[in-house]
Amino acid sequence: MKPLIPIIIAVAVGILSILVLSQQTQLNELQRNAEFERAMNYCELNYMMSSQLQDCITNAFETFGTQQEIENWHNYLNEEETKMKNREDFILMMDQDCRERYIGQIQEMNDCIEANHRLLP
């Protein structure tokens, strides 16, 4: 019976250690999430200009985000940049169409170009 007591104590200490580590991991994750949320709130409250807001959010992701969250954020930024480039290319194409269609008709050409920019802000 005596050799069994140290084994039981060792198992109990091992189980307690695992529980403490698990709780610490959960606490660390909760703290990271809270800090990340505070950083995002700070960005939204203090930066209204889109470039400053984007930089602030990027910094929050890189400081507090997981690797997957950081990757998703950068993918989102790349997609938005591509959409913007496509939109700009489309507007340039539409403007060129107005110039070709209304050669010598300055007012009509300007109206057409303005309409393009109103439709695609």
- Looking up tokens 């930066």, which residue turns up? 47
94-112 pLDDT, tens per residue?
A: 999 999 998 889 999 899 9
Question: Residue 59 is part of which domain span?
Answer: 1-65
55 shares a domain with 111? no
**Nearest alpha-carbon partner for 61 in 48, 49, 75, 79:** 75
74 shares a domain with 58? no
Residue ending a domain, among 36, 65, 94, is 65
- Highest mean pLDDT among 7-11, 34-38, 46-50 belongs to 34-38
- Contact yes or no for 62/70 (Cβ under 8 A): yes
84 shares a domain with 49? no
5 shares a domain with 33? yes
pLDDT level of residue 34 (50, 70, 90 thresholds): confident
45 shares a domain with 10? yes
| DSSP code of residue 1 | -
If one counts the domains in the chain, the total is 2
Residue ending a domain, among 46, 65, 84, is 65
25 shares a domain with 2? yes
90 shares a domain with 60? no
Phi first, then psi, for residue 48 (nearest 5°) are -95, -25
15-29 pLDDT, tens per residue?
A: 777 777 778 888 888
